[in-house]
Amino acid sequence: MTSDIHDRLLTLDSHIDIPWPDRNDFAAGSSDRQVDLPKLRAGGLKAVCLAAYIPQGRLEAEERQRAWVRAQDMLVVINGLQSDDVAVCSRVAMLLEALSAGRVAVVPAVENGHALGGDLTRLDHLAASGVRYMTLTHNGHNDLADAAIPLPALGNEPSLHGGLSALGREAIARMNALGILVDVSHAAKTTMMQAAELSRQPIIASHSCARALCDHPRNLDDEQLLRLRDTGGVIQITAMSSFLKRATEGKASVDDLARHVRYVADRIGVAHVGVSSDFDGGGQIIGWSDAASSAAVTDALLRAGFAEHDVAAIWGENFLRVLAQAEVA
Average pLDDT, the chain: 98
Q: Is the dihedral of CA 322, 238, 172, 71 positive or negative?
A: negative
Q: CA dihedral in degrees (325, 161, 276, 52; nearest 10)?
A: 90
Say what percent of the chain tops pLDDT 90. 98
Per residue in 240-251, pLDDT (tens digit) is 999 999 999 999
Residue 145 has pLDDT above 90, yes or no: yes
Mean pLDDT of 185-208: 98
Residue 13 and residue 101: Cα distance in Å, rounded?
Answer: 19
Across the chain, the runs of DSSP E, i.e. the strands, are 12-17, 47-53, 86-88, 104-111, 133-135, 181-183, 203-208, 234-238, 273-276
Per residue in 72-81, pLDDT (tens digit) is 999 999 999 9
Residue 329 has pLDDT above 70, yes or no: no
Mean pLDDT of 157-181: 98
The listed CATH number (3.30.70.20, 3.40.50.300, 3.90.550.10, 3.20.20.140) that belongs to domain 2-326: 3.20.20.140
Confidence category of residue 195, pLDDT binned at 50, 70, 90: very high
Mean pLDDT of 246-266: 98
Residue 106 has pLDDT above 70, yes or no: yes
151 and 180 in contact (C-beta within 8 Å)?
no
Residue 328 has pLDDT above 90, yes or no: no
Residue 89 has pLDDT above 90, yes or no: yes
Per residue in 264-302, pLDDT (tens digit) is 999 999 999 999 999 999 999 999 999 999 999 999 999
Q: What pLDDT shows up at residue 1?
A: 58
Helix, strand, coil proportions of the chain in percent (round to 5)? 45, 20, 40
Report domain extents, the chain: 2-326
117 and 59 in contact (C-beta within 8 Å)?
no
50 and 87 in contact (C-beta within 8 Å)?
no
Query: If we measure between CA atoms, which residue out of 119, 227, 104, 233 comes closest to residue 181?
Result: 233
Say what percent of the chain tops pLDDT 70. 99
Mean pLDDT of 212-227: 98
Q: What pLDDT shows up at residue 93?
A: 98
Residue 233 has pLDDT above 70, yes or no: yes
